Structure 1
């Protein structure tokens, strides 16, 4: 309801356009992403589209691909070497205890505000969420009284520890202020301020990332033979064989494999209400129409192992850009 309210209020705003050059390097594309989210005075609920230079693809599938890529980089890091460490991580930690990196350059670059805008923008448009944020960090975002603390530094007698902890606490406060400002820029902070319980919707736990086979299978619309098409009758057995291979792959797939498949199929790892599967004699490898949430499978496939290898080869193509998706 909150998202719908924001989107309805901004539906007449000028369209917000993100551009990515798929012919450039990964680092250059990351700079384009950061530049996009460093824009000020933007209503992030505005109608949104993505232009991929070097690829003719358009539509909702491209937007899903863009937001999925952005949130992966916020969650797991950028290839850009902003800290002279080979890779830039905005957040560190495992499970449900991810905390902001204490890097001074990230704070000076206001990158946590950029992260807040990206998180809010993805949420507004129904995209992936940031999972596993430490409950303590979440409280610093939601809580209005920033100065309240369960433990005072004066309670620690070790002056060396006090100095180090003081630096960390000060940076944490700065990071959370930036993140809160970014969420405020996207208007999302209003939701969690007025309804603190909804903070877990915006920042879900890691367990919610687990994907099971039934979540996908119950949404698939399987291909149906056309009784009036004579040529279709000769392909019914092969079609059933191929769709059986897909069902078997999904039933045996790990959570990570299923998330990658869903990302290839739809543009991100959020299962839609309906997924469509088609079998075509005109292709040799699986392809996807992400805008239509349709996975197209080649009719000719010798066995289950060959099907699995071909499907995984296509799924891995998402690592190299939008491409044929």
Structure 2
């Protein structure tokens, strides 16, 4: 399945489709032939939040409670590593981190590499390393202006012949205007949170969709990159308040996946 995923990633890029965003830089480093020992790994690269918090207990020199020591001991025993002692704390932190981020998925990385090698993208990446960031965009690379975001939005259709559409043209225009105003005046952080709530990631896709629906709060279908906005708002202030509250949930949702 990961070999198939590698083919899909390569062909998607070649045919103008979405790229694979969100891979840890350490995983990308090993995927392209680098050694796990030379990869730069941070606790934030660990996707399992429980394991991440356990490993972070070893960071620094603060004393551990008996409960924290037990958590660490259970993890090192499960991964066949030596028990925690006063002398191996830093070494154990690095070993656990590398295994959590890279060691546990080495087979999947190799299969993904095999799939990529079956597409022209592998030759391109090996001969032009500067193209790697295009295929595997990094978090934080998505700084964009309100104007760019607005250009990529597909606004609600004003065709009133749709039997499944319960919102009037006036409602669609009003809510669309509120969203335009929000995007035009939003800070960079607010725009980033909006896109992350909208798509599941903070990188701007080629197109974004908006629907005006019957509902209480704004929601998003991230797989279809569609933002669904309730049509009951009668003023911009209440619309902005609810939208800001909703987009801030991206910090504990898809933004961590």
Decide: shared fold, TM above 0.5.
yes
Structure 2 CA distance for partners of 1:107 and 1:205, relative to 1, 3 Å? same
Deviations 1:168-203 (A, max 9, x none): xxxxxxxxxx9xx99777437876543233355468
Deviation at 1:267, TM superposition (A): 1.5
Partner of 1:219: 152
**Residue ranges of structure 1 left out of the alignment (5+ in a row):** 1-14, 17-41, 49-63, 88-102, 119-177
Aligned length: 190
Higher RCO (CA < 8 A, seq sep 6+):
2
Contact residue 266 and residue 289 of structure 1 kept, 8 A = yes
**Which residue of 272, 279, 289 maps to 2:221?**
289
**Which residue of 151, 173, 180 maps to 1:247?**
180
The 2-side partners of 1:316 and 1:213 are apart by 18
**Which residue of 236, 244, 254 maps to 1:304?**
236
The 1-side partners of 2:163 and 2:97 are apart by 63
Partner of 1:271: 204
Normalized per residue, the structure richer in helix is 2
Deviations 1:128-147 (A, max 9, x none): xxxxxxxxxxxxxxxxxxxx
For the aligned residues, what is the CA RMSD?
4.5
Deviation at 1:205, TM superposition (A): 8.5
Is 1:259 aligned to residue 202 of structure 2? no
Is 1:82 aligned to residue 82 of structure 2? no
Contact residue 55 and residue 96 of structure 2 kept, 8 A = no
Structure 2 length normalisation: TM-score? 0.56
Deviations 1:202-255 (A, max 9, x none): 687898431211221101111122244699798322321111110111111122
Structure 1 length normalisation: TM-score? 0.46
SS of structure 1 residue aligned to 2:216? coil
Contact residue 178 and residue 239 of structure 2 kept, 8 A = yes
Contact residue 140 and residue 202 of structure 2 kept, 8 A = no
**Which residue of 44, 48, 53 maps to 1:73?**
44
